[in-house]
Amino acid sequence: MNKKPIKPKWYLKLVEYVAAPFYLWFNKGKVKVQKEVKKIKGPYLILATHASFMDFPQIVRGIMPRTTGWVMSVEEFRRGDWLMGGIGGMPKRKFTHDIVTAKHMLYYLKKLKHTCTIFPEARFEFAGINERLDGALGKFCKLADVPVVMCMSNGNFINSPQWSKHPYRKIRQEANIYMLITKEQLKEMTAEEIQAKIEQAFVKDEYKWQVENNLHTKCKQRADGLYKILYKCPHCGKEFMMESAGIYLWCNNCGSKWEMDTLSRLKGLNTDKGYSHIPDWYNWEREEVRKEVVNGTYLFEDEVRVEDYYSSKTGCIPVGDAHLVHNKDGFTISGIVNGEQFNVNKPVSSMYSAHIEYDFLGRGDAIDIATDKTTYFMFLKSAKNQLTKIHFATEELYDFYVRNK
């Protein structure tokens, strides 16, 4: 975590230059770059939406012959220090308050005088809409004192949503890279004004974009995995009884069934309940979780298998078992890890959001709990399909007890 980042290695630059255009061509990806961005002389900060792997080659292709450093989750370094560090990677423990990565970014921009890219949402989009941003982005941009460039991608999520990355839906994917805030504007704006402008720039709706552009997906498995984010039935109100396959989504409790059309809209086949627009369903679920938080009734607990992200060479290794509780006290984990009593509490104030992984590395649904020294992945043992609700609850608990007090 403390190792200083380096500029991309020349031989890895060549790989990026060759691979990025080919990858875009093969996947019908497009990139549009504003002339003002091309004219920037020195380093700049790129803020990018995050929907799929396509985000990376789009940025590489868009700023060529420049290269960029990348802020990435620490477990990505399991692919090799030589590779991730060699392309200018800077590790980050997600949703922690450490300042190590911020220091690395400032070093990269100011000392190495090299462009740096960050995905401020710190996770892939779950429902094709923007996720929550760190509240200190405005302050960081003010401190960095370099132009801020925005990369907005559309279609990447529809093509390969986080809840079912394969098979690809084969839809147009495009990125728009443009100047968001000039260096002169940074000096005139307050940190709060910068933050507000950034948050507004990230507002998006992939499903609305798909309909407006009349982009049909012919994939016959387009609803596979949709139940992972649409976990609550709007007809009977039952949670975690939803399933999906092919082009259908249904509730195993009441039998309500919906069909996803080629424009990703949902139509009730035997019910008039539900939402045709997926983000509306997703946001309704969030509202339901918010009610539980406000009423003080929210509670999740399960036995978990604990895996430690031990090192970039070893990757994640099983280290024990524990009992995980999530409520108004935050995440509390207790058990036997590495042969010793293990007790960790991440209070509500320490996490404005949570890093969740659907079937992480093929090992099961996991929650990322980071401490100052390491990152633990908590694999749920018996709870089925509850990650999205935990994601909502973490944010709503933070809002209720911290942000809105």
What percent of the chain clears pLDDT 70, i.e. is strictly above it? 100
Long-range pairs, 275-279, Cβ under 8 A, ≥24: 275/234, 277/207, 277/208, 278/127, 278/128, 278/207, 278/226, 278/229, 278/230, 279/127, 279/128, 279/129, 279/205, 279/207, 279/208
Token output for 392: 């909502």
Report helix angle 55-63 to 10-26, nearest 10.
110
Distance of alpha carbon 17 from alpha carbon 9, whole angstroms: 12
- Cα atoms found within 13 Å of the Cα of residue 361, Cβ hemisphere only: 16
Note the pLDDT of residue 1: 87
Instruction: Please check the confidence at residue 358 and state whether its pLDDT lies above 80.
Output: yes
Task: Return the half-sphere exposure (C-beta side, CA atoms, 13 A cut-off) of residue 263.
Answer: 12
Query: Is residue 58 a contact partner of residue 31, using CB atoms and an 8 Å limit?
Result: yes
* 312 vs 35: which has the higher pLDDT: 35
* Mean pLDDT of the region 309-336: 92
Distance CA 126, CA 191 (A): 28
Residues 6+ apart with CB under 8 A from 236: 251, 253, 254, 256
Q: Token digits for 283?
A: 């946001």
| The predicted structure's pLDDT at residue 94 | 85
What radius of gyration do the chain's Cα atoms show?
21
Instruction: Flag whether pLDDT at 310 surpasses 80.
Output: no
Count of CB atoms situated within 10 Å of the CB of 178: 15
Q: Which helix (H) or strand (E) holds 303?
A: strand 300-311
- Mean pLDDT over 242-253 rounds to 98
- Can you state the angle between helices 278-295 and 387-398, rounded to 10 degrees? 60
Is 249 exposed, middle or buried (CB count within 10 Å of its CB: 0-12, 13-18, 19+)?
buried
How would residue 311 be classed by pLDDT, with cut points 50, 70 and 90? Answer: confident
How far is it, in rounded angstroms, from Cα 294 to Cα 289? 9
pLDDT attached to residue 75: 87
Angle between the N-to-C axes of helices 137-144 and 191-201, in degrees from 0 to 180, rounded to the nearest 10: 110
pLDDT at 196 over 90: yes
- DSSP-assigned letter for residue 52: S
The answer for residues whose C-beta is within 8 angstroms of residue 12's C-beta and 6 or more apart is: 83, 86, 87
Name the residue with tokens 């990026």.
16
Q: From the centroid of its chain, how far is CA 137?
A: 16
pTM (2 decimals)? 0.94
Quick one: pLDDT band at residue 405, thresholds 50, 70, 90?
confident
Helix, strand, coil share (%) of the chain residues, nearest 5:
35, 25, 40
Say how many residues make up the chain.
405
Angle, CA 196 vertex, CA 38 and CA 32 arms, to 5°: 25
Give the pair of three-digit tokens for residue 300.
């999740």
pLDDT in tens, 126-185: 999 999 998 899 999 999 999 999 999 999 999 999 999 999 999 999 999 999 999 999
Q: What element of type H or E holds 117? A: strand 116-118
Name residue 61's amino acid.
Answer: R
Residue 301 binned pLDDT confidence (cut-offs 50, 70, 90): very high
What confidence score (pLDDT) does residue 316 get?
87
